[in-house]
Amino acid sequence: MIYLDNAATTKPLPSAVDAAVNAMTEEHFGNPSSLHKLGLTASQTVSVARKTIASALGCTAEEIFFTSGATEADNTAVFGAAMSVGKRKKRIVTTSVEHPAVAEPCRQLSQRGFEVVNVSPRDGAFQVEDIVAAVNEDTCLVSCMLVNNEVGAVLPVAEAFLKIKRMYPDTLTHCDAVQAFMKLPVLSKKLNADMISLSGHKVHAPKGIGALYIKKGVHIPSLMFGGGQERGFRSGTESVPLMAAFGAAVSELSENMDKRYVHVKALSDLLKDRVNAAEGLVYNSPENGSPYVNSIAAEGLRSEVLLHFLEQQGIYVSSGSACSKGKKSSIPAQFGAPERLTDFTLRISFSSDNTEADIDELMRALKEAQHTLLKVK
Ligand code: PLP
């Protein structure tokens, strides 16, 4: 199997699986709220995981709130901002390339009286001035992703948020950093974000766990009431196994982020060169993007047909964003990919487990697809 769909999900690391299993067995399966020894052990496991994630993000453990994933983190950030600062300020500024986990809550709020402004890239790239110019005194939230999940473009979040916070200190800033975390440096202080969303399964932990960073001093109302877990912010018995696994994966990845980046950058450069040198193939991702996410197109070969052809050869890729489930995406074109290639786009997303041999195999299979499906010699 050649797995090139790491932006959709990643394979859990053995250390993450072990941590999850450990938290479900022997004397480690307790409820962190229990007052006896088993509860204390479980509570310590959660605390270690929280500290690990906080340390990777450069914040304090108290600023990390576990969620069921980035969708919940994004929804909590957007609705939370609307319920706090949004009581007085009714404008939300976001981008036209956000994941649905941000775009949909914003759309919901637009139906509830909020004015939602979607800033788009200009000539294929986001301009700091455009994001800043969209914000005014009436803005409760600016939500801007760091790395786009379809093409890997890196958005100028830190610069935009710095200017926005200087001009409008009350406006909340939120960054969906799902495709950047543990791949590029993501530090809460440098990002100038009040809130940051993270997802476990994009960083080799299991699905169903994520986190929302909320800067100390920023008050976001709780959306979940009950037993008062997560310091009252998100009630519900903690998923200790998933939290432990998230912490273990982040701990392991923290050790060699630079090395992994160099390896994946070399793979991305190789893919770009090989694709651009091949007849009928186009490399779509913008310059200076995250090497982990690459968008390519094969002229005349519809994404889904090609995806299944590759699948038969044991190569797994995506036709764009996994979450768009076959819906046509405007995002590659917004970042400058030719419109005529929209139907022919594939996303090749790497992890550090991928090798040059995987690219050789992909290129061979793409050539075979052209030969078989297009009858190209
Ligand atoms: N944000 C981005 C940029 C994503 O790529 C994804 C997943 O594809 C999400 C949010 C949703 O994350 P989760 O699957 O953890 O809910």
Beta strand pairing call for 195-199 and 172-176: parallel
Instruction: Write out the two tokens for 99.
Output: 């994941």
Ligand 1 neighbour 57 (Cβ under 6 A): no
First to last CA, the chain: 27
Run of H or E residues at 67: strand 64-67
- Given 254, 278, 294, the domain boundary residue is 254
Say how many Å lie between the CA of residue 45 and the centre of ligand 1.
25
Q: What is the CATH number of the domain that holds 216?
A: 3.40.640.10
Q: Is 323 one of the catalytic residues?
A: yes
In terms of Cα–Cα distance, which of 200, 77, 79, 81 is closest to 145? 77
Residue ending a domain, among 254, 286, 308, is: 254
**CA-CA-CA-CA dihedral for 366, 370, 376, 377, to nearest 10:** 30
Please indicate, yes or no, if residue 3 is contained in any of the structural domains. Answer: no
**Which residue type occupies 132?**
V
176 versus 26: which is more confidently predicted?
176
Distance in Å, CA 328 to ligand 1 centroid: 18
Ligand 1 atom 16 nearest Cα = 71
Determine the 3-state secondary structure of 138 from DSSP.
coil
294 and 210 inside one domain: no
| Residue among 182, 197, 323 whose CB has most ligand 1 atoms within 8 A, to mutate | 323
Q: Determine the pLDDT at residue 321.
A: 52
**Over the stretch 298-344, which tens digit does the pLDDT of each residue have?**
999 999 999 999 999 999 999 965 545 556 789 999 999 999 999 99
pTM of the model: 0.97
Predicted confidence at residue 325, as pLDDT, reads 54
Summarised one tens digit per residue, pLDDT across range 52-71 is 999 999 999 999 999 999 99
pLDDT tens per residue, range 217-246: 999 999 899 999 999 999 999 999 999 999
Is the CB of 70 inside a 6 Å radius of any atom of ligand 1?
A: yes
Please indicate, yes or no, whether residues 80 and 113 belong to a single structural domain of this protein: yes
Distances in Å between the alpha carbon of 184 and those of 178, 198, 268, 285, 377?
A: 11, 13, 14, 17, 41
Beta-bridge partners for 116: 92
For residues 176 and 195, give the distance between their C-alpha atoms in angstroms, rounded to a whole number.
8
CA–CA separation, 251 and 261 (whole Å): 16
Question: Which pLDDT value is given to residue 329?
Answer: 87
Chain-centroid distance of CA 311 in Å reads 24
Atom of ligand 1 nearest to the CA of 210: 15
Catalytic residue among 59, 140, 175, 323: 323
Instruction: Report the pLDDT value the prediction gives residue 328, as an integer from 0 to 100.
Output: 77
Rounded distance from Cα 41 to ligand 1 centre (Å): 30
Residue 377 has pLDDT above 80, yes or no: no
> Residue 11 gets which letter from DSSP?
P
* Same-domain pairing of 279 and 207: no
- Is residue 8 one of the residues assigned to a domain? no
Ligand 1 contact via 149 beta carbon (within 6 Å): yes
Q: Are residues 230 and 273 in the same domain?
A: no
Q: Specify the number of domains making up the chain.
A: 2
* 37 shares its domain with 95: yes
- DSSP for 230-292 reads GGGTB-S---HHHHHHHHHHHHHHHTTHHHHHHHHHHHHHHHHHHHHHSTTEEE-SPTT--TT
206 lines ligand 1 (CB under 6 A): no
Measured in angstroms, how far is the CA atom of residue 101 from the centroid of ligand 1?
7
> Same structural domain for residues 264 and 250?
no
- 157 domain residue, yes or no: yes
**What is the tens place of the pLDDT at every residue in 83-114?**
999 999 999 999 999 999 999 999 999 999 99
Domain that holds residue 343: 256-373
Is residue 9 assigned to a domain?
A: no
The Å distance, Cα 102 to ligand 1 centre, comes to 9
Within this chain, do residues 140 and 185 fall inside the same structural domain, yes or no?
Answer: yes
Q: What is the pLDDT of residues 141-174, one digit of tens each?
A: 999 999 999 999 999 999 999 999 999 999 999 9
Of the three residues 201, 224, 254, the one that is the final residue of a domain is 254
Relative to the CA of 323, which ligand 1 atom is closest?
A: 8
CB of 69 within 6 A of ligand 1: the answer is yes
Is there a single domain that holds both residue 110 and residue 228? yes
Same domain flag for 237 and 270: no
Does residue 147 line the site of ligand 1, with CB under 6 A? no
